[in-house]
Amino acid sequence: MSTSSLPPRRIRRILVVLALVFAAAVAYGSPGPAGPLPGRAGQPHLAAGGALAVYFTTPELRYPDVPRNRVAPSFERALLADIAAARERIELASFEYNLASVAEALIRARARGVRVRLALDRESLHHPAMARWAGLLEETGASVSWERSDGFLHSKFVILDRQVVWTGSWNVTVNDTYRNNNNLLRITTPQVVANYVAEFERMAAGRFGSRKGGATPYPLAHLGGATIATFFSPHEPVREHILDHLARAWRSVDVLAFSFTDDAIAEALINRHRLGVPVRVVFEARNANGSGSEYARLRAAGLDVRRDGNCHTMHHKAMILDGRVIITGSYNFTRRAEEVNDENLLIIEDPVLARAFAEEFTRVYRQARVPARCA
């Protein structure tokens, strides 16, 4: 049947459908591997056949935060289930730590004979809740490797039976669980898990910061149509990989930045903007005017730059490039993250995962435009 014989109303419907398909192609790029759509707020978004899952904290912020009204989020329940299922070993690295549910789960793991090892930042011990959290675990016989240098042990990850790794911007804290914006990835790809095992073993041996060495076993892992690149600073260069991906972004760049003071990364964003690439950046409000912040520079250059609208903390350190590439981890866009602190960063190419991060960016960006009314 030719289009000339179709009723005008049907032709209009066909044109509308084609327009929607074209809009989706522009938004997300060429079709990637089949995968589920992002889940609802607070639920995991699955990619790469389920080997990657990402959770976003505080999907529905309520003010003021009242502890008795808290409900354990889905990611906390999932992590606690993984800890409960561990039978041999658990390794955990975190900059801050005071979440009682995780301490209690690790204590139960020790009671059933699981080897528990921690790598923690010593400077956080001046907070009584963190000192108590670490002390409870040390009393069970869990071993702790302490970062003692001028840098921070800023990485955040948990390894379970060397089969699963959780990592992202989330610290093992009440604030990061119930108040702050974070992303948390659950990964079961063996090569990526092996990378985090190698990094933890450096810390377990007392090597932190510039004292670390050795190559990442699998710097680039392939999983179906997805690729996952893993980096650890300061003994590996990270900034150059971020700059390389930014230089290849041609359709869109979205950034969520807790702390952003890196001149080279700022210049790369300005270059993209000058070439006509839409660039949007949401800064954590209290750091926007901090020492060395790139906030004013990017605004002066004409980029769409905003302060976040969370009454607590926008703690993401993430980029979404061209609807296909995700850059995320503990690595803030700062010189200290590159040269001093213990950090981890993932660069993941997967359009399904990128769609989930784009959804989170949209939520945070909208809240930046219409900030919450804070108690």
Catalytic amino acids?
Answer: 315, 317, 322
Kind of pairing between the strands at 115-121 and 89-94: parallel
Rg (CA), the chain: 22
Coil, strand or helix at 309: coil
Q: What is the DSSP letter of 68?
A: G
Q: What is the DSSP letter of 234?
A: T
Cα–Cα dist 172/227, whole Å? 27
Backbone angles phi, psi at 11, to 5 degrees: -60, -40
What angle (nearest 5°) sits at the alpha carbon of residue 76, between those of residues 70 and 80? 125
The contacts of residue 300 (CB under 8 Å, 6+ apart) are none
Q: Which of 216, 274, 223, 80 is nearest to 160 (CA)?
A: 80
With tokens 């522009």, the residue in question is 26
**Per-residue 3-state assignment (H helix, E strand, C coil) for 146-199:** EECCCCCECCCEEEECCCEEEEECCCECHHHHHCCECEEEEECCHHHHHHHHHH
Q: At what angle do helices 351-369 and 8-28 cross, to 10 degrees?
A: 90
* Token pair in block for residue 160: 């379970």
DSSP H or E run through 143: strand 143-147
Kind of pairing between the strands at 279-283 and 253-257: parallel
* Token pair in block for residue 361: 């960016």
